[in-house]
């Protein structure tokens, strides 16, 4: 890698399509590249994060000449919390050191680095025994890379065929992000979200549904065919599509799909309950807090997985050519200007983000203004924020930099490229002997990882292996994904999109609509039902983050887009198999025209 960096300098990874040859799946990619830079300060391991773009450099000789207290203050002002922490360790144990550490923790928390602040507080004297192991993890020697690694995301996902925009109305809710009139995506702060809801007079409330539907049910049936017929009737009569229809009778998950040729019905079934709206305006279960499935998403995915449609969708966030050129020129000029002064790392990292500018957003396979597009994009965006330490993933999902600091023994100088991606994780898709009942077993989300080798021309070569730290992050993300769902509804929404996409693909592959004589009516491609339209996101600002640890290298972490080819899951013979015991459960009497009911 050192030889490669010397010969090629700062190289940009070209967009690739290599993963189109991998087994089709949902993908969230992570890729990296290498450049070189040094700075002058205390010997530490400085970790920087750039959303959709990144860099790592080798530090040169480091030193500190100022008085200890002034030194700590200078590092805090520069955002070099790790350097400040190390300087505080020189103070004898006791009240003086604790005061300094508390100040550092406050600065970390104020900058959004909650996990790092927690680690700093763990080293206070009165918690020394409890936190000793954590402190030791932060005090080892960091990876002594000999080259600066710059990792700039170039994860594109193939040609883009956008569907025609719908003509529905914009939703009154913002689910954690907003898009301005120019198409720029922003993450809403909690204050912005809460303030907007308060202004609309829509604080958390119970949805307007009848008492029967609001009761929790382990297995609620929703007939897609009956629902479509009722939606069509209401639209023809000039009546609104009521909230209970929009929220699919409170379903939070789809566990079964049933076909009834006698009544010509396709039925989806799963747990359900009444719902309310959380602080971000997302409909969630009144008791469980899980996001409620949405009719708009079901219709969008039925249209995606329909005859003649693309049957694949996804998104990517990519730097544009002008930004990449500007970064390359800046790094070249910066190397010729000599080492950075103490406190200059934050400014240097910020300039990388400024030069790179806004990232281009690409959404394909689903309407760019649909809720499905918003969900996959927001989940991708938040995955990036967690990866670079800008969004708290929870104590069980430390970001890549935290893992590197805790496990320096696993850091490798051969690290040239990293990828993370999210896949649909299902234990099985079971079906009855007559293929009229299907069960989706063990639905979850899995994060996977891989290291890649970079050729001198920037081409990425698949290795099929992941280095330990890369693997740790993926393992933690997978094992604690439900914790993310509990913290952030968008990850629950992503899981719901997975479920509905699988059901839509199953209906298409098994020709369930053909078996029931259902032409999908208003829900078909070009049908009269119009899904809610949102502002179309086109760009997002580059997010830069940096941290300080023991060592002399700067690491920058990035994350990629989302890609879905769900039809491959239902055609996978290792997942789809027969179950002699799977049958349609008994249901209570259903009134004529009713489109939902609970199983006995």
Say if CB 349 and CB 546 are below 8 A apart. Answer: yes
What would the pLDDT profile of 259-318 be if each residue is shown by its tens digit? 888 888 999 999 999 999 887 788 999 999 999 999 999 999 999 988 888 777 887 777
Give the residue with greater pLDDT, 495 vs 144. Answer: 495
Give the residue with greater pLDDT, 387 vs 523. Answer: 523
Poorest-confidence range of 431-435, 466-470, 570-574? 570-574
Residue 281: per-residue pLDDT: 81
Which three-class secondary structure state does DSSP give residue 476? helix
Total Cβ atoms within 10 A of residue 265: 18
Instruction: Tell how far CA 521 is from the center of its chain.
Output: 34
Say if CB 542 and CB 350 are below 8 A apart. Answer: no
- Decide if pLDDT at 521 tops 90: yes
What would the pLDDT profile of 227-245 be if each residue is shown by its tens digit? 999 999 999 999 999 999 9
Confidence of residue 528 (pLDDT cuts 50, 70, 90): very high
Say if CB 258 and CB 437 are below 8 A apart. Answer: yes
Q: DSSP state, 221? A: E
Structure token digits, residue 589: 């009497």
Give Dmax (Cα) for the chain: 85
Mean pLDDT of 252-264: 88
Confidence of residue 103 (pLDDT cuts 50, 70, 90): confident
Mean pLDDT of 409-435: 69
Which three-class secondary structure state does DSSP give residue 67? coil
Confidence of residue 552 (pLDDT cuts 50, 70, 90): very low
CA distance 314 to 26: 8
The residue written with tokens 């290291």 in the block is 451
Residue 496: per-residue pLDDT: 92
- Decide if pLDDT at 29 tops 50: no
The residue written with tokens 């070009």 in the block is 526
Average pLDDT of the chain, as a whole number: 68
CA distance 332 to 561: 28
CA distance 12 to 202: 47
Residue 504: per-residue pLDDT: 92
CA distance 161 to 311: 11
Say if CB 450 and CB 51 are below 8 A apart. Answer: no
Confidence of residue 79 (pLDDT cuts 50, 70, 90): low
Poorest-confidence range of 8-22, 85-99, 122-136, 254-268? 8-22
Residue 155: per-residue pLDDT: 24
Confidence of residue 66 (pLDDT cuts 50, 70, 90): low
What would the pLDDT profile of 314-368 be if each residue is shown by its tens digit? 877 777 778 777 877 887 787 777 776 766 777 777 787 788 788 788 888 899 9
Instruction: Spell out the SS3 assignment of 71-94.
Output: HHHHHHHCCCHHHHHHHHHCCCCC
Kindly list the domain boundaries of the chain, sorted by start residue. 2-154+315-414+541-559, 193-309+419-449+484-535+565-598
Residues of the chain above pLDDT 70, percent: 58
Which three-class secondary structure state does DSSP give residue 349? helix
Q: Bridge-partner residues for 439, per DSSP?
A: 256, 430
CA distance 460 to 453: 6
Say if CB 149 and CB 59 are below 8 A apart. Answer: no
Residue 252: per-residue pLDDT: 96
Give the residue with greater pLDDT, 191 vs 540. Answer: 540
User: What is the end-to-end Cα distance of the chain in Å, rounded?
Assistant: 63
- Decide if pLDDT at 554 tops 60: no
- Decide if pLDDT at 170 tops 90: no
Mean pLDDT of 67-91: 79
Residues of the chain above pLDDT 90, percent: 20
- Decide if pLDDT at 190 tops 90: no
Structure token digits, residue 71: 């030194």
Residue 26: per-residue pLDDT: 28
Give the residue with greater pLDDT, 267 vs 565. Answer: 267
Poorest-confidence range of 58-62, 187-191, 344-348, 530-534? 58-62
Confidence of residue 526 (pLDDT cuts 50, 70, 90): very high
Confidence of residue 162 (pLDDT cuts 50, 70, 90): very low
Bridge pairing between strands 359-364 and 437-441:
unpaired
Mean pLDDT of 149-160: 25
CA distance 194 to 216: 28
| Of 579, 119, 526, 83, residue with least CA distance to 299 | 526
CA distance 583 to 433: 9
CA distance 155 to 136: 37
Residue 300: per-residue pLDDT: 96
């Amino acid at each position: 890698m050192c030889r490669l960096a010397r010969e090629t300098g700062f190289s940009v990874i070209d967009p690739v399509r290599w993963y189109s040859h991998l087994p089709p799946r949902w993908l969230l990619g992570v890729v990296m590249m290498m450049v070189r830079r040094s700075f002058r300060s205390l010997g530490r391991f400085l970790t920087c994060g750039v959303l959709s773009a990144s860099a790592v450099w080798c530090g040169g000789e480091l030193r500190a000449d100022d008085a200890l207290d002034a030194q700590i203050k200078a590092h805090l002002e520069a955002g070099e919390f790790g350097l400040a922490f190390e300087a505080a360790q020189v103070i004898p144990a006791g009240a003086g050191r604790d005061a300094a550490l508390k100040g550092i923790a406050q600065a970390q928390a104020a900058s959004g680095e909650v996990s790092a602040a927690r680690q700093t507080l763990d080293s206070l004297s009165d918690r020394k025994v409890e936190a000793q192991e954590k402190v030791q993890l932060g005090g080892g020697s960091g990876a002594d890379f000999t080259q600066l690694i710059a990792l700039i995301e170039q994860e594109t996902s193939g040609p883009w065929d956008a569907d025609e925009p719908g003509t529905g109305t914009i939703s009154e809710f913002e689910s954690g992000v907003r898009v301005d009139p120019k198409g720029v995506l922003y993450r809403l702060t909690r204050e912005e979200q809460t303030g907007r809801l308060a202004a609309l007079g829509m604080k958390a409330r119970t949805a307007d549904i009848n008492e029967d539907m609001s009761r929790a049910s382990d297995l609620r049936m929703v007939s897609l065919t009956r629902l479509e017929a009722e939606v069509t009737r209401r639209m023809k009569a000039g009546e609104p599509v009521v909230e209970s229809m929009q929220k699919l009778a409170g379903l939070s998950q789809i566990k079964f799909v049933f076909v009834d040729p006698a009544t010509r019905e396709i039925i989806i079934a799963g747990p359900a309950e009444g719902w309310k709206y959380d602080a971000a305006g997302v409909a969630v279960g009144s008791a469980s807090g899980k996001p409620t499935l949405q009719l708009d998403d079901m219709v969008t995915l039925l249209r995606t997985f329909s005859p003649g449609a693309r049957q694949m969708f996804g998104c990517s966030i990519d730097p544009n050519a002008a930004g990449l050129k500007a970064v390359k020129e800046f790094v070249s000029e910066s190397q010729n200007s000599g080492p950075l002064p103490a406190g200059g790392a934050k400014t240097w990292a910020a300039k990388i983000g400024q030069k790179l500018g806004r990232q281009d957003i690409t959404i394909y396979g689903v309407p760019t203004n649909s809720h499905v597009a918003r969900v996959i994009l927001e989940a991708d965006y938040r995955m990036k924020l967690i990866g670079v330490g800008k969004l708290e993933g929870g104590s069980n999902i430390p970001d890549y930099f935290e893992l590197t600091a805790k496990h320096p023994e696993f850091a490798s100088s051969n690290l040239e490229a990293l990828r993370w991606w999210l896949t649909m994780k299902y234990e099985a898709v079971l079906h009855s002997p007559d293929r009229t009942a299907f069960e989706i077993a063990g639905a979850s989300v899995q994060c996977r990882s891989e290291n890649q080798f970079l050729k001198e021309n920037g081409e990425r070569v698949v290795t099929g292996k992941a280095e330990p730290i890369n693997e740790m992050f993926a393992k933690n993300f997978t094992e604690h994904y439900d914790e993310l769902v509990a913290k952030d509804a968008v990850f629950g929404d992503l899981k719901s999109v997975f479920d509905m996409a699988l059901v839509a693909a199953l209906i298409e592959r098994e020709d369930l609509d053909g078996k029931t004589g259902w032409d999908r009516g208003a829900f078909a491609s070009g049908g009269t039902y119009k899904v809610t339209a949102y502002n179309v996101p086109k760009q997002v600002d580059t997010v830069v983050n940096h941290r300080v640890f023991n060592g002399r290298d700067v690491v920058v972490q990035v994350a990629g887009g989302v890609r879905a080819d769900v039809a491959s899951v239902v055609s996978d013979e290792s997942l789809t198999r027969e179950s002699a015991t799977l049958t349609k459960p008994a249901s209570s009497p259903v009134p004529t025209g009713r489109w939902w009911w609970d199983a006995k």
